[in-house]
Chains A and B, each alone.
Chain A
Amino acid sequence: MSTKNKKVMVVGGGIAGLTAAWELSRFNIDVELIEKTPFLGGYAIQYCCKATDECRQCGACTVEAMLKNVVNEPKIKVHLATDVEKINNSGRFSVDLKKSSYQPVSATEGVIRGYSKNNSPLHVIVDKEKCEENPDAVPEGAVELDTMGFSGKLDVDAVILASGFQPFDAEQKGTYGYKKFPNVVTGMDLERIIRENATVVRPSDGKAAQKIAFIQCVGSRDENLGNLWCSQVCCPYALRMAETIKHKNADAEISIFYMDIQNVGKNYAEFYEKCKTDFRFVRNIPVDVFPMENDSLSMRYMNEEDGLCINEEFDLLVLSVGIMPGPDNNDLSGIFDVGLNEDGFFAGIDKLNSTSTLKGGIFLAGTVAGPKDIAASMAHAGQAASEVIKHLGVS
């Protein structure tokens, strides 16, 4: 069968969606890539490089490379700031798209910025009035959010859902004081802090943090929250970021509070041994955090050696938040008529076939179907693309 006129819609422009789109384009398939925010790249484009004197294989730079591939590929048509409204299935899928209802959380100066030089546009005006007050501050080439987004119809032969995840909202674990105490941050915040400052600074005063604690499993493996899964990525990102910090500042004292540590990539055994000499591992999840002078934080936890509770002060507390089902999963499940599993992620047919759904022609890629790191999301997206190709009878 010829590939002529075969067209696939990919929903979500994170690393999974980008990879799926790219793989499909390799088979000469036309791709319509729908992204609800004004920027491609998803969460993974926001991460810092975690190389020390060697590459730590965190995968962050592969996202940049894939983004570049996609924006330069004419067979992939990108619709930024766009949502799927409705879909009709009668052989082909007829899709109604609409301008996205996306609202940025914060925008000083009225402009938000993408994370990569391959984001086009790189600057998006979200508050026109603010920009008119100070027109010199508006970067060249900035585009108004109102003018972005696509409303209209598309006909496609298959759909890949790659709408991703959301990081755990750490405010739900109230005793840690996230958003109450400035120097309690999440792993996601820390990625951005290191990316922007090339090192780790305290949000309260911009000074380098000397004594740092990571608390693992925040939001994951927690029956109280109904989240029984291990998020798989938070041990690796925490240990890699901790090594990055230590590499820049050999005097930094880093403690990791954990239940048990998950595998961190191929050279895990060696890497973990190094971590054990560089950081203090405490097998205990602290519960109470109190603010101290100087915006430092005091934490109470049980000391393993003598079983007594101790209070210890830290400059910075990092909550290793995990991977939660995407915020739009319920809506998308309704629109596409594809079920979610009991955890709230999209359900594949079975473990061995986690990219196909019970609905023919609709496939899953990346964290939309459960926790994965960047490499696993890319592999999953590649698998989804090959399932689509089989489904369309293209070769």
Chain B
Amino acid sequence: MAEEAIKLGGKRKSTFLDKVKEILPDGGNLNLCLTCGACSSGCPATGLADMDPRKFLRMAALGMDEEVTKSPWVWMCTGCQRCIYVCPMKIDIPQLVYEARATWPREERPKGILGSCDMALRNDSGSAMGTSEDDFKFVVEDVLEEYQEAQPEFKDMQAPIDKQGAEFFLNQNSREPVTEPDEMPPLWKILHLVGADWTYGSKGWGGENYCMFLADNDSWEHVTRIAAKQADDLGCKVFLNTE
């Protein structure tokens, strides 16, 4: 046999594209592709794993469900949405990618993202590092004290946790309190200088949400609901998502 050509089944079997179209507002414009390649020109993942967004969408449109959903490329898309921005037809490729991720058995999804999501599910912090509420509290107080002493112009600066009735609920990438605590104060300083009334939550302070990148809807929702409930319980008006 000569070179293996791409084979299309006799019967149109594309269920994947149709399924995704059903759940996207206006069908996500998925059937309007002009094949112009603008998406691929701007995509940071073009060329990885022999794939690019145009090819991905074309294969889905041709009903190559297996090849599309199984491609490791779905884990290389950064979800940046550049492709939507430049696409003349506003086609929502990252959502297609997301649904492809969701077809993978959970335990076969990439270890790093999977582990981070599982970590976030261990306690109510939402932290992908698994940092506990107490550890977070300790680090924040410790760092705050240090800055109040070393920089007298910020001696009144606060970094409250669970302050009832604060206007803003702030979350925090949880890598920072663990590995780069000095990354936290710059934002505190800005909030202090503008006189913002804000608070962290002892629950739901972890801002990253790897369960979203894992395409694990239930866990994503779980992590998000904890943070949202904490903000509501504290009576905060605005949720400042720093991630």
Give the interface segment out of B41-49, B64-72, B178-186: B41-49
A129 at the interface (CB under 8 A from B): no
Q: A222-B88, A287-B41 are in contact. Are A309 and B34 (CB under 8 A)?
A: no
Which positions 276-335 of chain A face chain B at CB distance < 8 Å? 283-288, 300-302, 306-309
Interface residues contributed by chain A, number (CB under 8 Å)? 22
Choose from A224, A288, A301 the contact partner of B37 (Cβ within 8 Å): A301
B49–chain A nearest beta-carbon distance, Å:
10
Q: Are A224 and B41 in contact (CB under 8 A)?
A: no
The answer on a CB contact under 8 Å between B90 and A259 is no
B47 touches A285 (CB 8 A): no
Known: A223-B89, A288-B42. A217 touches B36 (CB 8 A): yes
B38 near A287 with CB under 8 A, answer: yes
Q: A285-B36, A287-B38, A307-B52 are in contact. Are A224 and B46 (CB under 8 A)?
A: no
By a CB distance below 8 angstroms, the chain A residues around B32 are: 223
User: Cβ of B41 and Cβ of A301 under 8 Å apart?
Assistant: yes
Q: Which of A284, A300, A302 has the most CB of B within 10 A?
A: A302
Contact A286 B46 (CB under 8 A): no
DSSP class of A's interface residues: helix, strand, loop or mixed?
loop
Partner of A284 from the list B29, B41, B50, B51 (CB cut-off 8 Å) is B41
- A residues near B40, Cβ cutoff 8 Å: 284, 302, 307, 309
Q: Complex Cα distance A388/B41, Å?
A: 50
Smallest CB-CB separation from B83: which chain A residue?
A287
Task: Check A285–B41 contact: CB distance below 8 A.
Answer: yes
CB-CB under 8 A for A223 and B88, given A302-B52, A306-B47:
yes
Complex Cα spacing A309 to B50, Å: 12
* B182 CB, min distance to chain A CBs, angstroms: 35
Which residues of the partner chain B approach A306 to less than 8 Å between Cβ atoms? 47
Contact assessment for A175 and B47 in the assembled complex, using a CB-CB cutoff below 8 Å: no
User: A221 near B: Cβ within 8 Å?
Assistant: yes
Instruction: Please determine whether B36 and A309 come into contact, CB atoms closer than 8 angstroms.
Output: no
Say whether, besides A283-B35, A307-B50, A300 and B88 are in contact (CB < 8 Å). Answer: no
Interface digits, A199-229 against B, CB 8 Å rule (1 contact, 0 not)? 0000000000000000001000111110000
Q: Which B residues lie within 8 Å of A286 (CB)?
A: 38, 41
Contact B47 A307 (CB under 8 A): yes
Query: Roughly how many angstroms separate A301 CA and B36 CA in the complex, as a whole number?
Result: 11
A-B contacts counted at CB < 8 A amount to 68
User: In the complex, what residue of chain B is closest to A225 when comparing beta carbons?
Assistant: B88
Interface string of B70-104 (1 = CB under 8 A from A): 00000000000000001111100000000000000
Q: How far is the CB of A214 from chain B (nearest CB, A)?
A: 14
* Structural contact, A307 and B55, CB atoms closer than 8 A: yes
With a cutoff of 8 Å between Cβ atoms, the chain A residues found around residue B50 in the complex are 307
B38's nearest neighbour on chain A, judged by CB, is A285
In the assembled complex, which residues on chain A have CB atoms less than 8 Å from the CB atom of B38?
Answer: 284-287
- Taking CB atoms, residues of chain B closer than 8 Å to A259 are 34-36
Contact between A283 and B37 (Cβ–Cβ < 8 Å)?
A: yes
Contact (Cβ within 8 A) B55 A224: no
With A223-B88, A224-B90 as known contacts, state yes or no: A284 contacts B47, CB within 8 Å.
no
Measured CA separation A306–B48 after assembly (Å): 11
A175 lies within 8 A of B86 (CB): yes
Q: What's the nearest-Cβ distance from chain A to residue B77, in Å?
A: 15
Distance of A308 Cα from B50 Cα, bound (Å):
9
A288 touches B41 (CB 8 A): yes
A284 contacts which chain B residues (CB < 8 A)?
Answer: 36-38, 40-41
Closest 9 CB pairs of A and B: A284-B37, A308-B47, A302-B40, A222-B88, A259-B36, A285-B38, A287-B42, A285-B36, A287-B41
A-B contact pairs, 26 of them (CB 8 A): A217-B88, A222-B88, A223-B32, A223-B88, A224-B87, A224-B88, A259-B34, A260-B35, A283-B35, A283-B36, A284-B40, A284-B41, A285-B36, A285-B88, A286-B38, A288-B41, A288-B42, A301-B37, A301-B41, A302-B37, A302-B54, A307-B40, A307-B46, A307-B55, A308-B46, A309-B47
Starting from the known contacts A225-B88, A302-B47, 15 additional A-B residue pairs (CB-CB under 8 Å) come to: A217-B36, A222-B89, A259-B36, A260-B35, A285-B37, A287-B86, A288-B41, A288-B42, A300-B42, A301-B37, A301-B41, A302-B37, A302-B41, A302-B46, A307-B52
Residues of A within 8 A of B (CB): 175, 217, 221-225, 259-260, 283-288, 300-302, 306-309
